[in-house]
A and B are shown apart, each in its own frame.
Chain A
């Protein structure tokens, strides 16, 4: 036998905030509001543009780098040959380097991305551009000698020369003691000559076999392997430990909205982690998701009640409600 309890059916729970407003109204003109706002923003933008202008620091060309810091340029070129540069050891998406790549916890996301933009630093940054240089018998001989050697021999020449450069005063190739460097000094020197003449700037674009270029992956990777770009950035307060990710050149606000993203790089464990980028990106993705889903997260969605800023926003309304 089934028994029933005679109790009233609970009314369907529905937010009061979803119900049509039954209180007093005020006059409003949405079109006028938008027009006035547009005029105000236009005037503000105009004044800020006239008073503060905008930064436009010229890009560093490979020619400028070679002229301003030839020793750094040569050391970088040699590191591309002996496989010790940042790009040569980067891992995905540029190189197949065992154990390279950041992880998000146990997830090797960088490796999972795959080598989709392969870069052979020796060929792409040094040997390839040099092969296109005409009418230089000494360079042709150096390239031939280098190509005929085994990979171990090639690497031995480059590594020995890189060590010698690092010990030479100011890293000056002219002050390197004599040793068996093979054709590497000639190759590095000719690449410096090519860059100084301006011939390397166009040669490194990814589509160098075509007339047009829009992909600067390779020249930017090569430039970033040297110290010159970093030194210039640090002087402009753009380095990572200088909150540089949200800054731009000059005294401009930059991407101030990236403050939280930049903040994580300033503190441990992120600042000392080999996986800092993956950790920060993962954390920011999580925080962004939490922000989007605040309406559904108990506790978070109650913060506005705990911190009563709304009493200030709607003070006029609450004042009328409190009247006897």
Chain B
């Protein structure tokens, strides 16, 4: 039926081509799998999904804070509690992410055309550090004052302090609630899609038909 429609409309144009390409790269059963290779049976695999789940709660609690404004949490008990949710979801996010990262390192998870998956993960980690850092800057409390006045020296020392001015609370607020979460979000989506596309890396020395000499360096 779908084929008949595409035929009658010339293959669906750009949209049809994009759809066919997307399905070819990432078939639905690979995007949302209901089976995994038998070797995927360690607790270390849990930390990837825990990181994504924590990121989701970081976004939810951050959005809640954003709804009421940047200074709400200083004067409201509810606001302070939501800030606590935001803080601890961030702490959990990093805790899970670091374990995930080192787990993948010791699995040499970049093997088998998975280098881009590794790179997007590392860049997402670095971008997350920047996002959390700007969060500390926009708290509008003593921590913000101290961290900003200290961090300016690092950024100024490499010549970027005037463009990324940690003393400019308004600028840092926009970086924190829009620009950096957008970067992290895009990287996380790309990372997960790459994982689904390439599949979970097999164990080191897993037998197959290729050339054994390439196993370590690939």
Contact = CB atoms under 8 A, between A and B. Distances in A.
Contact of A220 (B40, B149, B171): B149
B166 to A, nearest CB: 9
B81 A295 contact: no
B56 interface: yes
Interface string A176-219: 00000000000000000000000000000010000000111100
Contacts of A236: 142
Nearest to B39: A317
A92 B50 contact: no
A11 B208 CA distance: 14
B88 A48 contact: yes
B110 interface: yes
Given A21-B37, A114-B162, A313-B103, A229 B149 contact: yes
A114 to B, nearest CB: 7
Contacts of B210: 13-16, 18-19
Contacts of A56: 73-74, 80, 83, 139, 141
Q: How large, as a class, is the contact surface on chain B?
A: 35 or more
A233 B145 CA distance: 10
A102 interface: yes
Given A19-B210, A29-B34, A217-B167, A280 B154 contact: yes
A113 B170 contact: no
Interface string A247-277: 0110011011110000000000000000101
A259 B165 CA distance: 23
Q: Is the interface of B mostly helix, strand, loop or mixed?
A: helix
B38 A26 contact: yes
Contacts of B54: 41, 45
Contacts of B194: none
Interface in A71-113: 90, 92-93, 101-102, 104, 109-113
Contacts of A288: 122, 126
B105 A304 contact: yes
Interface string B161-179: 1110101111101000000
Name the interface size band of chain A.
35 or more
A316 interface: yes
Contacts of B182: none
A307 B108 CA distance: 11
B52 interface: yes
A22 interface: yes
A215 to B, nearest CB: 4
Contact of B158 (A25, A104, A214): A104
Interface of B: 32-42, 44, 46, 49-50, 52-54, 56-57, 61, 73-74, 80-81, 83-89, 91-92, 94, 98, 103, 105-108, 110-115, 118-119, 122-123, 126, 129, 132-133, 136, 139-151, 153-163, 165, 167-171, 173, 198-199, 201-204, 206-218
